[in-house]
Structure 1
Amino acid sequence: MDFLWIIFFGKKHWNQEKNGGVETFEDQIGILQQIPMEIQIKSLRTICKNISVYSKQLKLLSSAYKNKDIKSIYTLSKKQLGGLKKIMLYDRNEKMVRSINEKCRESSSFFAVGAAHLYGSKGILNVLKSEDFKVRPVFS
């Protein structure tokens, strides 16, 4: 199962094209397995002890999402990830760009990724543009 959120590239004819993802469920589990269990437990405890703080952060993210503000989504997410930015954001961006690059060579394509992966110097949009891809947002 692939977890996809923001539509940002190309056009897709669902009934005529093959489906796939830029990241698999196994990829995502592998990423989580790179994070030591002690850090995962500590993070969960911190969230549980500070529900109101994390609730406010979630509301800020939700508002940024509704306003299509990918810069704020990126900034808030990057801050929340702290020392896990490389594993959870930057490394995944690189892998997703490679996957997009490979799949686009086969046919015209449609991709969706988490909004936090779009923005920034290492963001998917910037990297794809630097590789001469034409990207555009598709909003509902």
Structure 2
Amino acid sequence: MKSKLLLCLFLLTSLLWQPTFAQARKAKERQASKTAPATTAVANSLLWEISGNGLKQPSYLYGTFHLLNDSYLSTTPEVKQHFEQSKAVVIEADIDSSKVMQLAGYMVMPENKLSELLSAEEYQLVATETKNVLGYDLAMLDHMKPVSLMLLLSVTEYKDLEAVKKFEDGQALDMYFASQGRSNNKKMFYLETLEQQMQLLYDHHSLDQQAQQLIAFVKSKDYVLNSQEELTNLYFNKDLQAMVAASEAYSKKMGEEDMAYMLDDRNKNWMTQLPQILKAQQTFIAVGAMHLPGNNGLIKLLQNAGYTVKPLQ
């Protein structure tokens, strides 16, 4: 059980981006479309070269899939090549095991219980799912926040998908770039703190909202897993546009609220940091793939800032 908790914590904001976070961008773009052009389509590529705007050497932007392990990189040698030649590495947050454990309190609710947040019928539904997937009685996890349990269930079942199992060796992609960067004495930059990511994932929604999300997940589990598998295959095809479309369809089906705080707002904040990093040295930026496309995606924001951004795959 401890290993599953650690896995969930290590992955942080990654665990929900596949099916839901694209809605944030779409909501804002629909509003912006009244005064701005439609979203520019992007090429089928996860690896992008950043040049111009005074850069002496090109840098690179790579869209990761947070639940995919680094054995996947054997299929894309150009990614490793550009990563290895870069002098600095940028990732979303410093994922350090000691820090993770210090912040594990975000996952629990000492003053509340799942048995009090859910109706008797809902509790039994979740209890059955928990027993079937994790092998534990729900009573043992009664003080776990609903979103924490949802992520544990999601990750555990997601890892059994055939599309993912063939790349089960190694570390999660983001952790690979972090550990290899440190091992090779590259300069390391983190766009956010681990605590900021914990707050976004575990504290943004009220416990009542989390409870309803948990119930919706359990009731629609087959649809959720099918959507996740579809998105994984679209990632393998490097099709960012189709990933956005699939995510929007999922969001509509699941009735998700606007989650712009998870994509658009963070992208804009990251852009206050990236120009100085890029100016100083050749850099490899590895962030979740859904941060790349769209009018408020990093590709477009970098272009708006004067950089030339072109696909390399």
Report the counterpart of residue 22 of structure 1 in structure 2: 191
Report the counterpart of residue 291 of structure 2 in structure 1: 117
Is the counterpart of residue 108 in structure 1 residue 266 in structure 2? no
Is the counterpart of residue 45 in structure 1 residue 219 in structure 2? no
Name which of structure 1's ranges 68-77 and 116-125 shifts more when overlaid on structure 2.
Answer: 68-77
Name which of structure 1's ranges 114-123 and 26-35 shifts more when overlaid on structure 2.
Answer: 26-35
Offset of residue 110 of structure 1: 1.1
The whole-number CA distance in structure 1 between the counterparts of 2:300 and 2:226 is 29
Offset of residue 26 of structure 1: 1.9
The whole-number CA distance in structure 2 between the counterparts of 1:30 and 1:19 is 23
Instruction: Tell me the SS of whatever aligns to 1:54.
Output: helix
Cα distance, 1:41–1:30 mapped onto 2, change above 3 Å:
same
Name which of structure 1's ranges 43-52 and 20-29 shifts more when overlaid on structure 2.
Answer: 20-29
Indicate which of 229, 241, 265 corresponds to 1:91: 265
Taking structure 1 as the reference length, the TM-score comes to 0.80
The whole-number CA distance in structure 1 between the counterparts of 2:11 and 2:210 is 22
Report the counterpart of residue 241 of structure 2 in structure 1: 71
Answer 1 or 2: which has greater strand percent.
2
The whole-number CA distance in structure 2 between the counterparts of 1:4 and 1:16 is 26
* Matched-pair contact (CA < 8 Å) for 2:13–2:197: no
**RMSD, matched Cα:** 2.7
The whole-number CA distance in structure 1 between the counterparts of 2:236 and 2:228 is 12
Q: Give the aligned residue type for 2:189.
A: G
Instruction: Tell me the SS of whatever aligns to 1:132.
Output: coil
User: Structure 2: which 5+ residue stretches go unaligned?
Assistant: 1-9, 15-45, 50-58, 60-81, 88-180
Offset of residue 64 of structure 1: 0.8
Q: Give the aligned residue type for 1:48.
A: V
Offset of residue 113 of structure 1: 0.9
Report the counterpart of residue 58 of structure 1 in structure 2: 228
Report the counterpart of residue 63 of structure 2 in structure 1: none
Larger Rg: 1 or 2?
Answer: 2
Cα distance, 1:7–1:112 mapped onto 2, change above 3 Å:
farther
User: Structure 1: which 5+ residue stretches go unaligned?
Assistant: none
Name which of structure 1's ranges 50-59 and 32-41 shifts more when overlaid on structure 2.
Answer: 32-41
Q: Give the aligned residue type for 1:89.
A: L
Q: Give the aligned residue type for 2:236.
A: K
Offset from partner CA, 1:77-126 (integer Å, 9 cap, x none): 34545323211121121122222223223322110111111111111111
Number of residue pairs matched by the alignment? 139
